[in-house]
A and B are shown apart, each in its own frame.
Chain A
Amino acid sequence: MAAAEHLYLHVPFCGHRCGYCDFVTVTGSGELHGRYVDALIRELRGAPARPATIFVGGGTPSLLDDALLARLLAALPACDELTVECNPETITPAKAQVLVEGGVTRVSLGAQSFQPQLLATLERRATPDRVVQAVATLRRAGVTNLNLDLMFGVPGQTPHDLAADLDQASSLEPEHISYYELEAKPGTRFTHRHGAELERQAEALEDHYETVVATLRERGYHWYETANFCREGRQARHNLGYWEGRDYLGLGVGAVSTIGLERRRNRPSLRAYLDAVEAGQAPPAEIELLSPAERGSERLMLGLRLDRPMPLDGLEWLIDPRQLERMAGAGMLAREPGGIRLSERGRFMANDVVSTLLR
């Protein structure tokens, strides 16, 4: 594979599988942590020597014990941005120390909410206090670039709950906030249980989303991507790689790589992954060959999430010029020297706008 600038490592282990989650995760199996880290390190041999960014996600990478985590971090190549995803309940002073000493420049902390009843609905294990405590611990250890993951649209969430979450999150002064609408994916236990409530609250979510954007902007955050906010200059560079449509290499069970027109999705079986890598083989994967139109559509879909002009070089053929004209006329987007950029209203309606633009 050609060298990718962006490297993703997947650590599937979790203390508990949250009901809404559809990532590749594994609970229990503590005895496999060591074998898994070794396998990742083995896979790293084929990775680029000097990537721009590395993101260690999960799962819960911080669930690895300190020594294992340190071993994994030590094996990583040097890069400009190294992010590790952590759950608040796993953050101890020692763990924070391992992160900082292992070269981690950015920590992404899964807070989701500060309201105990909402955390319970989400089946999160951390309590609001643990989130605050984890932030303090990380700060003390010297983490200067911190992201909080938050969520709106949790069943039962009131406007008051949302305001409280926004207050508590911003009072912690993270450099970056990812604020997602809860995505109840079909087939998850969560959707099954809360389907009716999710349906009922659909219209309230419009208010929630507007509140999130308005409040965080007021408090000095840039709304630089559909669901992401940051202080000046604190964009997630790794994720920018995805949104700018660049190639990325994913290592680990269930990880996805996209290099040119080839998308490789490692299969979700942990055993099969370990067996293959330990035998010196490539992890079992399914390959999706993207057509130029598909890859181009993805680039539009991703690039228009950003609050910056999206260059159209080589993508014009995917766009219906009449619809482009119409969307511009309706104030959904602006044509700028550097490409097209969705207006504020356009960003709230991005799916509609992008699916209209595509031929």
Chain B
Amino acid sequence: MALSRIRNFSIIAHIDHGKSTLADRILQVTKTVADRDMREQLLDSMDLERERGITIKAQAVRVLFRASDDRVYELNLIDTPGHVDFTYEVSRSLAACEGALLVVDAAQGLEAQTLANAYLAIENDLDIVPVVNKIDLPAADPDGVSAELAELIGDAPENVLRISAKTGQGIEAVLQAVVDHISPPDGDPQAPPRALIFDSSYDQYRGVLAFVRMVDGGFHKGDKVCAMAQGTRFDVEELGFFSPGMRPAKHLSAGEVGYIVTGLKDVSQLRVGDTLTLSRDGAAEPLPGYKEVKPMVFAGLFPTDSDQYPELRDALEKLKLNDAALSYEPETSQALGFGFRCGFLGLLHMDIVRERLEREYDLDLLVTAPNVAYRVQDVKEDWHEVHNPAQMPASGDVLSTEEPYVRASLIAPKEFVGPLMELTQDRRGEFGHMEYLSEERVQLVYDIPLAEVVLDYYDQLKSRSRGYASFDYDMIGFREGKLVKVDVLLAGEQVDSLSLITHRDNAYKQGKALVEALRERIPRQMFEVAIQAAIGSRVIARETVKAKRKDVLAKCYGGDVSRKRKLLEKQKKGKKRMKQVGNIEVPQEAFLAVLDLNRDGGNGGGG
């Protein structure tokens, strides 16, 4: 197809603002999918994503649309991940497009995430088609939201499309706007081929599948190809596009979007953002924008049943095939036995990995409280990266410490500005600037340590804004911080997996909160449990769980032996779920106590 008849675009929307529904309608209106085959939210292929209402892996779907000029256009819809943890993946998906639909819920208005992605789109020079969705809702305010949206992108409110993806109202107009307002791709079909990898996935039969945007030139089946940044080489076993199922093609040419079957066995060999070209007579320069995404949040994953260690290792290996951002290395803990220290992009990424391990691999896992990556300078002035509080050297051996910071963007109705500023300052946030997006809504920008975000910032944000605030962040690098390691001792025995690294000013408060949280989670048992928090050898907080004095079956005669035996078996099972630390039995949730510091409910994760 001629470049002038191709449009590549994605949909930018906050979770629940209707991205998937709109995508479904586009497939329906263009007859890409017969009505009877329509499955709700076809693009979200994993159950987990479906349940969480989020999309992890981008895919691209090609549809054909007859526009008002009676010509048929090839529209490639590139789906983007919808969460802060995957900002880099989003940026690469956007780089594969010339335009984006910016979709905002008519009842909810702009959210921080939408804004962040909209800015990403603007930075990528994308043509933006503003869309207000869900105009059928009783609480919809299409005029107000259109004005906000127009203001954001510098357009006129009347140019904002008003649709309901649910009822199908306005979908044709959206497609026409894609043709009219989004530029066709402008690559050079004659140049040596260059294709941007904007996503990849692993299929157990076919190996790694790369989703690419051909920028220049073209690829054919059988081409010998190489990824320029990583140097990975492979043969194009098959190529084609999705519509919505896999459709093999003879070639992919400049401007088109499609997939390549690589036969590679590991997604980490083919990183998002890398450029594919021919192994011989390839392009001289890669496409701009490649960077290696590094995990910033770390947690220990341990099988509850130590016999499951090999299964956990196999499961991580398999997940890693499909998730280049996941890292793991073996870890041994005196309390928890053998497990892995895993690195994640963020909390949501961590939650997703844990759930997949538990659900798809049927593992019973204990996940320690997450921490960020720290940089530590030892007395020889050498810098080390620390991914685990247990690796943190004693304070006498440390010259200085650094922790990662993020630039956080918060959007909230103006009445919450006070509480949010107070919260963010309390969490060591450094004020950047404040901006009124409209008369009602304000954006705050802060630099804040990622450690605070990982701890409980997001939950607090939601609770202090009664759920109205939205939040997004970008990594901005390491900064110096006065950090100390707080250790926890149970009945005198140090439990490495409960150690935490915290800012010196917070150590006392956090140590106290931690031992209190542990006291609530460690049941009374055969022996008294002394719970202490200490910096080095100095105890900073202490709690005690008194020993239980009675645990007997009141009576037991011939008539109810079976029932009593079953009670005992149940108790035995309960014990097996506990971890033994010396003479003490510690339930798994106690190891998550660090997560609950200052927290008033909620179960982790960002949003």
- Pair B555/A183 contact, Cβ less than 8 Å: yes
- Which segment, of A61-69, A138-146, A154-162, A294-302, faces chain B? A294-302
Q: Which residues of chain B from 125 to 153 have any CB-CB distance to chain A below 8 Å in the complex?
A: none
B561 interface hit (Cβ, 8 Å): yes
B558 interface hit (Cβ, 8 Å): yes
- Closest beta carbon of chain A to B267's beta carbon, Å: 43
Q: Which residues of chain A from 296 to 338 have any CB-CB distance to chain B below 8 Å in the complex?
A: 297-298, 301-302, 305, 326, 330, 332
- Pair B549/A301 contact, Cβ less than 8 Å: no
- Pair B558/A242 contact, Cβ less than 8 Å: yes
Interface contacts beyond A226-B556, A242-B558, A301-B564: sample of 5 additional A-B pairs, CB < 8 Å, sorted by A: A209-B550, A256-B560, A297-B569, A355-B572, A356-B575
Given A298-B565, A354-B568, A356-B575, the answer on whether A210 and B549 have CB atoms closer than 8 Å is yes
- Which segment, of A125-133, A190-198, A343-351, faces chain B? A343-351
Contacts of B583 in A (CB 8 A): 326, 330
- The CA of A152 and the CA of B526, in the complex, are separated in Å by 22
Contacts of A256 in B (CB 8 A): 558-561
Task: Write out, one digit per residue, whether chain B residues 535-566 have a CB within 8 A of any chain A CB (1) or not (0).
Answer: 00000000000001111111111111110110
Contacts of B553 in A (CB 8 A): 226, 301, 350-351
Contacts of B527 in A (CB 8 A): 330
- The CA of A337 and the CA of B553, in the complex, are separated in Å by 27
- Pair A351/B552 contact, Cβ less than 8 Å: yes
- The CA of A263 and the CA of B554, in the complex, are separated in Å by 22
Task: Write out, one digit per residue, whether chain B residues 556-598 have a CB within 8 A of any chain A CB (1) or not (0).
Answer: 1111111011011101100100000001000000000000000
- The CA of A220 and the CA of B42, in the complex, are separated in Å by 79
Contacts of A301 in B (CB 8 A): 553, 556, 564-565, 568
A248 interface hit (Cβ, 8 Å): yes
- Pair A348/B561 contact, Cβ less than 8 Å: no
Contacts of A227 in B (CB 8 A): 552, 554-555
- Pair A180/B549 contact, Cβ less than 8 Å: no
Contacts of A298 in B (CB 8 A): 561, 565
Contacts of A6 in B (CB 8 A): 558
- Pair A348/B549 contact, Cβ less than 8 Å: yes
Contacts of A332 in B (CB 8 A): 526
B525 interface hit (Cβ, 8 Å): yes
Q: Can you pick out 21 interface pairs between chain A and chain B where the beta carbons lie within 8 Å of each other?
A: A6-B558, A182-B554, A183-B555, A206-B549, A206-B550, A209-B549, A226-B553, A227-B554, A239-B557, A256-B561, A263-B562, A301-B564, A302-B556, A326-B583, A330-B526, A348-B550, A349-B552, A351-B571, A352-B551, A354-B568, A355-B572
- Closest beta carbon of chain A to B556's beta carbon, Å: 6
Contacts of A206 in B (CB 8 A): 548-550
- The CA of A243 and the CA of B453, in the complex, are separated in Å by 58
Name the contact of A352 in the complex, choosing from B548, B559, B562, B564 (C-beta under 8 A).
B548
Task: Write out, one digit per residue, whether chain A residues 269-298 have a CB within 8 A of any chain B CB (1) or not (0).
Answer: 000000000000000000010000010011
Report the nearest A residue to B549, measured CB to CB: A206
- Closest beta carbon of chain A to B229's beta carbon, Å: 53
Given A242-B561, A330-B583, A350-B552, the answer on whether A355 and B568 have CB atoms closer than 8 Å is yes
Contacts of A242 in B (CB 8 A): 556-558, 561
- Pair A294/B565 contact, Cβ less than 8 Å: yes
CB within 8 Å: A-B pair count: 106
Task: Write out, one digit per residue, whether chain A residues 189-216 have a CB within 8 A of any chain B CB (1) or not (0).
Answer: 0000000000000000110011000000
Name the contact of B554 in the complex, choosing from A183, A241, A349 (C-beta under 8 A).
A183
Contacts of B569 in A (CB 8 A): 297, 355
Contacts of B564 in A (CB 8 A): 301
- Closest beta carbon of chain A to B545's beta carbon, Å: 13
Central interface residue in B525, B527, B556, B571, by most chain A CB within 10 Å: B556
- Pair B559/A255 contact, Cβ less than 8 Å: yes
- The CA of A350 and the CA of B526, in the complex, are separated in Å by 10
- The CA of A349 and the CA of B557, in the complex, are separated in Å by 19
Report the nearest B residue to A205, measured CB to CB: B550
Q: Which residues of chain B from 237 to 286 have any CB-CB distance to chain A below 8 Å in the complex?
A: none
Contacts of B525 in A (CB 8 A): 352
A178 interface hit (Cβ, 8 Å): yes
- The CA of A265 and the CA of B561, in the complex, are separated in Å by 11
- Closest beta carbon of chain A to B583's beta carbon, Å: 6
- Pair B558/A349 contact, Cβ less than 8 Å: no
- The CA of A8 and the CA of B558, in the complex, are separated in Å by 9
A174 interface hit (Cβ, 8 Å): no
Given A353-B526, A355-B571, A358-B568, the answer on whether A302 and B549 have CB atoms closer than 8 Å is no
- The CA of A142 and the CA of B564, in the complex, are separated in Å by 36
A80 interface hit (Cβ, 8 Å): no
A25 interface hit (Cβ, 8 Å): no
- The CA of A183 and the CA of B563, in the complex, are separated in Å by 13
- The CA of A255 and the CA of B558, in the complex, are separated in Å by 9
A110 interface hit (Cβ, 8 Å): no
Q: Nearest 6 pairs between A and B by C-beta?
A: A206-B549, A181-B554, A355-B571, A355-B572, A351-B551, A352-B551
A258 interface hit (Cβ, 8 Å): yes
- The CA of A210 and the CA of B562, in the complex, are separated in Å by 27
- Closest beta carbon of chain B to A152's beta carbon, Å: 9
Contacts of A350 in B (CB 8 A): 551-553
Given A206-B549, A348-B551, A351-B552, the answer on whether A258 and B558 have CB atoms closer than 8 Å is yes
A12 interface hit (Cβ, 8 Å): no
Report the nearest B residue to A181, measured CB to CB: B554
- The CA of A297 and the CA of B527, in the complex, are separated in Å by 24
- The CA of A354 and the CA of B553, in the complex, are separated in Å by 11
Task: Write out, one digit per residue, whether chain A residues 213-254 have a CB within 8 A of any chain B CB (1) or not (0).
Answer: 000000000000011000000000001011100001010001
- The CA of A6 and the CA of B558, in the complex, are separated in Å by 10
Contacts of A178 in B (CB 8 A): 555
Contacts of B558 in A (CB 8 A): 6, 8, 241-242, 248, 250, 256, 258
- The CA of A294 and the CA of B569, in the complex, are separated in Å by 10
Name the contact of B550 in the complex, choosing from A182, A349, A358 (C-beta under 8 A).
A349
- Closest beta carbon of chain A to B437's beta carbon, Å: 51
- Pair B551/A297 contact, Cβ less than 8 Å: no
- The CA of A352 and the CA of B525, in the complex, are separated in Å by 8
- Pair A352/B568 contact, Cβ less than 8 Å: no
Name the contact of B555 in the complex, choosing from A180, A258, A356 (C-beta under 8 A).
A180
Central interface residue in B525, B549, B557, B567, by most chain A CB within 10 Å: B557
Given A351-B551, A351-B553, the answer on whether A288 and B562 have CB atoms closer than 8 Å is yes
Q: Which residues of chain A from 142 to 173 have any CB-CB distance to chain B below 8 Å in the complex?
A: none
- Pair A258/B561 contact, Cβ less than 8 Å: yes
- The CA of A349 and the CA of B564, in the complex, are separated in Å by 15
- Pair B568/A351 contact, Cβ less than 8 Å: yes
Report the nearest B residue to A346, measured CB to CB: B526
- The CA of A241 and the CA of B583, in the complex, are separated in Å by 35
- Closest beta carbon of chain A to B497's beta carbon, Å: 22
- Pair B556/A305 contact, Cβ less than 8 Å: yes
Contacts of A182 in B (CB 8 A): 554
- The CA of A250 and the CA of B186, in the complex, are separated in Å by 91
- Pair B548/A358 contact, Cβ less than 8 Å: no
- Pair A352/B526 contact, Cβ less than 8 Å: yes
- The CA of A6 and the CA of B557, in the complex, are separated in Å by 12
- The CA of A258 and the CA of B564, in the complex, are separated in Å by 15
- Pair A349/B559 contact, Cβ less than 8 Å: no
- Closest beta carbon of chain B to A208's beta carbon, Å: 9
Report the nearest B residue to A329, measured CB to CB: B583
- Closest beta carbon of chain B to A114's beta carbon, Å: 19
- Pair A349/B551 contact, Cβ less than 8 Å: yes
- The CA of A209 and the CA of B549, in the complex, are separated in Å by 9
Contacts of B548 in A (CB 8 A): 206, 349, 352
Contacts of A294 in B (CB 8 A): 565
Contacts of B550 in A (CB 8 A): 205-206, 209-210, 348-349
Report the nearest B residue to A250, measured CB to CB: B558
Contacts of A326 in B (CB 8 A): 583
Name the contact of A297 in the complex, choosing from B552, B554, B568 (C-beta under 8 A).
B568
Name the contact of B575 in the complex, choosing from A248, A263, A355 (C-beta under 8 A).
A355
- Closest beta carbon of chain A to B544's beta carbon, Å: 15
Name the contact of A349 in the complex, choosing from B526, B565, B572, B575 (C-beta under 8 A).
B526
- Closest beta carbon of chain A to B454's beta carbon, Å: 36
